[in-house]
Amino acid sequence: MAEEYPHKIALVGLGTIGLSMLAMHLRRPDTTITVYDPRPDYESQIRDTLPSLLPQSQTKSQSGSESNQIDTLISTSRLKLATSLASALHNATIVQEQSPEVTASKQALWKEISKLTGPDTHLWSSSSGIPASVQSATCDDADRVAERLLVAHPFNPPHVMPLVEVVPGPRTKVGRVGFVREYFGGIPGPGTCPGTGAGAGTEVEGGHYRAITLNKEIPGFVGNRLAFALLREACYLVGEGIVSAKDLDSIVTASLGPRWAGSGVFESYHAGGGEGGIGAFLQKLAPTIQDVWGKLGQVDIEGEQGWKDLVVGQTEEAYGDYTPERRKKKEEMLGEVVEMQKKKWAEL
């Protein structure tokens, strides 16, 4: 008989990303999730935050209250709250960490996890930019751990955003990459209620997540290198007084944002190049592109801080405190964009 829950995930680190990941994993009915965080108040954090990350219909109707919903997930063994790392890892088939983005911290954590898990356990890091080969480097049996460890980098919020940037290390076994792609490919969208007790054999409708695998490790991977290149130029332009932070955001949301929701960087310029496509585009625009490339801003996070005072001051003035209501509204907008993409996916 097929095992009731073939996937037993240990989620280690329940902060911003960990909580969103929890909401995402709960959408696979063939998966149980055990969570652990050294923060003593993490259970109250789950009870306060998780319901808002789940479909509202599920939160209010079936369980009657948000608290009951968490209790239902616990009583049906879909969700377990561990009080130690060792107990969280017991029988785990997958370990996914969302601990702080600090190399030494992640290395120490994997060193501990690798001693508490078997050779078959899949090891995933949610890191924004620390390669798997760096994270496993200090493990006692580093080579064996490196064969199992990979980065499955999400974009915030993972329970909505479709990208999973899969970044294997040079020693990561190919089968581990195939597994993570298949696992995320089988997770349904954010409108799907957490399966309760459906167990193995339940038809798992996927089609929400897009796992993109990098061919080689590079710090920051691809998504964040692109995002941080744009961020650097944006900070430079505000620091130089060329544009305000709010107007720069409007320039992005009124042009590049909508464009890139339907066509990526290269497809957009391929379309913009006319008959000759991107080749013609690059040739026609070469002088301007080269001139701009040679004059892109140079700001450094540790360097002169004048630009940073302007960026922070203007952003706080424009948006104030980022309230839960605003966050929820933006998340709903993001969800609608992603659902539109999925409807048009075949054409993307």
Residue selected from 127, 136, 172, 314 as contacting ligand NAI according to rule CB under 6 A = 127
Residue selected from 154, 169, 188, 195 as contacting ligand NAI according to rule CB under 6 A = 154
**Using CB distances below 5 to 8 A depending on partner kind, what does residue 223 bind out of ligand L7SNNMKT, ligand NAI, none?**
ligand L7SNNMKT
Binding flag, residue 14, ligand NAI (CB under 6 A): yes
CB of 223 to ligand NAI, least distance (A): 9
Binding flag, residue 37, ligand NAI (CB under 6 A): yes
Q: Tell me if 128 sits within 8 A of 155, measured CB to CB.
A: no
Strand positions, DSSP E, the chain = 7-12, 31-36, 79-81, 94-97, 122-125, 149-154, 163-168, 210-213
Binding flag, residue 39, ligand NAI (CB under 6 A): yes
Residue selected from 16, 44, 202, 255 as contacting ligand NAI according to rule CB under 6 A = 16
Q: Tell me if 113 sits within 8 A of 95, measured CB to CB.
A: yes
Residue selected from 7, 8, 11, 13 as contacting ligand NAI according to rule CB under 6 A = 13
CB of 239 to ligand L7SNNMKT, least distance (A): 20
CB of 190 to ligand NAI, least distance (A): 16
Name residue 7's beta-bridge partners.
31
CA angle, 201 then 10 then 342, to 5°:
55
**Using CB distances below 5 to 8 A depending on partner kind, what does residue 127 bind out of ligand NAI, ligand L7SNNMKT, none?**
ligand NAI
Residue numbers of the site for ligand L7SNNMKT (CB under 6 A)?
Answer: 128, 155-156, 223-224, 227
Distance CA 229, CA 221 (A): 12
Binding flag, residue 21, ligand NAI (CB under 6 A): no
Binding flag, residue 105, ligand NAI (CB under 6 A): yes
Distance CA 243, CA 235 (A): 10
Q: Tell me if 162 sits within 8 A of 209, measured CB to CB.
A: yes
Residue range at the interface with ligand NAI (CB under 6 A); choices 9-17, 22-30, 189-197, 264-272: 9-17
Residue selected from 7, 9, 11, 18 as contacting ligand NAI according to rule CB under 6 A = 18
Q: Tell me if 98 sits within 8 A of 37, measured CB to CB.
A: no
Q: Helix count (H) and strand count (E) of the chain?
A: 16, 8
Task: Work out the end-to-end distance of the chain between its first and last CA atoms, rounded to an integer number of angstroms.
Answer: 41
CB of 244 to ligand NAI, least distance (A): 24
Distance CA 25, CA 158 (A): 10
Name residue 12's beta-bridge partners.
36, 97
Distance CA 136, CA 115 (A): 12
Binding flag, residue 100, ligand NAI (CB under 6 A): yes
CB of 117 to ligand NAI, least distance (A): 14
Binding flag, residue 156, ligand NAI (CB under 6 A): yes
Look-up of token digits 């944002």: 257
Binding flag, residue 99, ligand NAI (CB under 6 A): yes
Residue range at the interface with ligand NAI (CB under 6 A); choices 22-30, 95-103, 229-237, 270-278: 95-103
Distance CA 348, CA 342 (A): 9
**Using CB distances below 5 to 8 A depending on partner kind, what does residue 162 bind out of ligand NAI, ligand L7SNNMKT, none?**
none
CB of 99 to ligand NAI, least distance (A): 4
Binding flag, residue 101, ligand NAI (CB under 6 A): yes
- Residue 306: both structure tokens together: 């004048």
x/- string (CB under 6 A) for ligand NAI, residues 268-297? Answer: ------------------------------
Secondary-structure percent of the chain, ordered helix, strand, coil, rounded to 5: 50, 10, 35
CA angle, 226 then 283 then 299, to 5°:
30
Residues contributing to the site for ligand NAI (CB under 6 A): 12-18, 37-39, 98-101, 105, 109, 126-128, 154, 156
